[in-house]
Amino acid sequence: MKKKVLVIEDEKAILQGLLDNLNEEGFEAIGESLGKNGMETALREDIDIILLDLMLPDMNGLDICKEIKKQKIALPIIMITTKSGESDKILGLELGADDYITKPFSINEVLARVRAVLRRFEIHDKVKHQKLENYT
């Protein structure tokens, strides 16, 4: 089954580029350009991973990240940021982001990070299930 990627990004060219490349690489990618809509889609749909821009016109990416994680802790989020300052990274990780991509990025880096984070979460999931099986 295809992994569903939600991209929340307000810069249209970047959003379209990410969606095209993710779809070409076998993901099912959907896009939102506003934070509010993105958050609603994230919570409503069965999404496997989110690429979330830090700077959105209506909401701060960190607030969106925090809110989504509050309701869906096991949904991985990769933040897209133009800042590479350490304090932003630490703040983002404290709020629950699972990885970072700094603009400008290469599509290969994005794909590699998406796959790595998904792998990490799948392994985590399997371990959880194994533990549960052991107890029954």
Edge-to-edge order in the sheet of strand 99-102: 28-32, 4-8, 49-53, 77-81, 99-102
Count of residues that bind Ca ion according to CB under 5 A: 3
The least distance separating Ca ion from the CB of residue 118, rounded to whole angstroms, comes to 23
The site string for Ca ion over 49-68 (x = CB under 5 A, - otherwise) reads ----x-x-------------
Q: Tell me if 32 contacts Ca ion by CB under 5 A.
A: no
CA distance 32 to 27: 16
Q: Over 38-58, what HEC string results?
A: HHHHHHHCCCCEEEEECECCC
Q: Which stretch binds Ca ion (CB under 5 A): 3-11, 34-42, 99-107, 114-122?
A: 3-11
Q: Give me the residues that bind Ca ion (CB under 5 A), please.
A: 10, 53, 55
